[in-house]
Amino acid sequence: MISYVIPTRNRPERLKQTLWAIEALGDHRACGGAEVVVVDNASTERLIMPAELACGGAGAVPVRAVLLDENMGAAARNIGVAESEPASEWIVMLDDDSYPDDTAFMERLAAQPADVAAVSADIWLDTRGRADTRESGGLPEVFIGCGVAIRRRVFKELGGYDAAFGYYAEEYDLAARMLLAGHRVAFEPLFSVTHAKVSSGRDMNTILGRLVRNNGWVAQRYAPESCRLAELRETRRRYRRIAAKERALSGFGRGLVELRKTLWRQKRTPMSVELWDRFTGLAAARAALQRQYAARPFRSAAIIDPGKNAWVVARALEELGVRLTGEGEDAEVSVIGTMSPGPMMDAMRKRAGGRQRVIMPWDVGEVAMERVREAA
């Protein structure tokens, strides 16, 4: 059995469309049945929901609402899991504007090895009535909250999301604790989710403040001492650049002040260097680039389409002894400069068919690559 857990606040019409999309998936008996638990984060608008989703008449899916007296942010998911059926093996975390595209994910969840605690979806953005680009964020072993399935047992054992985060980077914190507990996070391209991302009500100053503070907390909590300060500097640099682009430097500044005030309160549970390399994506980049190099060596590379953890790509290339050039300069290959799965695959799709050899710094699997080629 699976439980869909969906936090919501003041978006009843958007939630209704998401419930319709789940209903349109049809029969859930292949996974032992399903339920939907909606957790309302103290909405001021009235929440009206059906008691169940027909799902094609082949076994209705019950819908339950949990009404909170305060806005708990992402930690509302913890309440949803607590209220879910104990028989559910997997919790499918969604937002009120995200939903699975089909039922293929059910079989893929059942096939996961025992050490896989979470399965990341291939998340497509639908902002103009058509899903044509992927969601940004995440890393090879860090999931995105609007499209992930988590083993209920592991979620409960680890205590779920840390409520102090509110929103943003709470997934990084939970994924780090999963790795420290000996689990893995897997990416499943057949678990396809559409995120009909709603832009209204998004205050970029608040978002950038949370991003720099929360990502700083993650670095402080889990980075090995040998690279903790460097990781904090990279966090400030990355989000300052984004804040400048989004005209949200005041929010970034407030977040940075809050980070400095609260940094010492973060309990240190540093990872080993090996585990940190998995968490940041460096281990995945090393494996993929070493394989590409062994198959067809190259002496120089240009990093293109830089994004999340571009430094990982540069480090893995330098370790191979490959000379880095600027984009547009003479280089034998181009390497996509992000470890975020969605932007990485979108960049590969955009660059496919060109004259120069383009390499992805993470082996996402043949199924995912076939989809990239089909969409090119």
In tens, the pLDDT along 181-191 reads 999 999 999 99
CATH class of the domain comprising 2-195: alpha beta
Mean pLDDT of 80-100: 95
Which residue, among 308, 272, 314, has the nearest Cα to 289 in the 3D structure? 314
pLDDT of residue 352: 78
**DSSP 8-class letter at 161:** S
Secondary structure element (H or E) that encloses residue 188, with its range: strand 184-195
334 close to 359: Cβ distance less than 8 angstroms: yes
Using pLDDT thresholds of 50, 70 and 90, give the confidence band for residue 115: very high
Query: Residue 371 pLDDT > 90, yes or no?
Result: no
Q: What is the pTM of this model?
A: 0.93
Which of 62-66, 214-218, 281-285, 368-372 shows the lowest mean pLDDT across its residues?
368-372
* CATH code for the domain defined by 281-375: 3.40.50
Phi, psi of 41 (to 5 degrees): -85, 65
Query: How many CA atoms, within 13 angstroms, populate the side-chain half-sphere of residue 215?
Result: 26
Task: Report how far residue 94's alpha carbon sits from residue 167's, in angstroms, rounded to the nearest whole number.
Answer: 14
Mean pLDDT of 37-47: 91
Where do the structural domains in the chain lie, given as residue ranges? 2-195, 204-274, 281-375
Query: Residue 263 pLDDT > 80, yes or no?
Result: yes
SS3 351: helix
Using pLDDT thresholds of 50, 70 and 90, give the confidence band for residue 276: very high
pLDDT of residue 355: 80
Name the average pLDDT for the chain.
92
Q: Regarding beta strands 61-67 and 34-40, do their DSSP bridges make them parallel or antiparallel, or are they unpaired?
A: parallel
pLDDT (tens digit, 9 = 90+) per residue, 207-252? 999 999 999 999 999 999 999 999 999 999 999 999 999 999 999 9
Task: Report how far residue 234's alpha carbon sits from residue 217's, in angstroms, rounded to the nearest whole number.
Answer: 13
Which residue, among 136, 147, 39, 138, has the nearest Cα to 93 in the 3D structure? 147
Mean pLDDT of 6-29: 92
**Tokens 């907390």 sit at which residue?**
217
Mean pLDDT of 124-147: 86
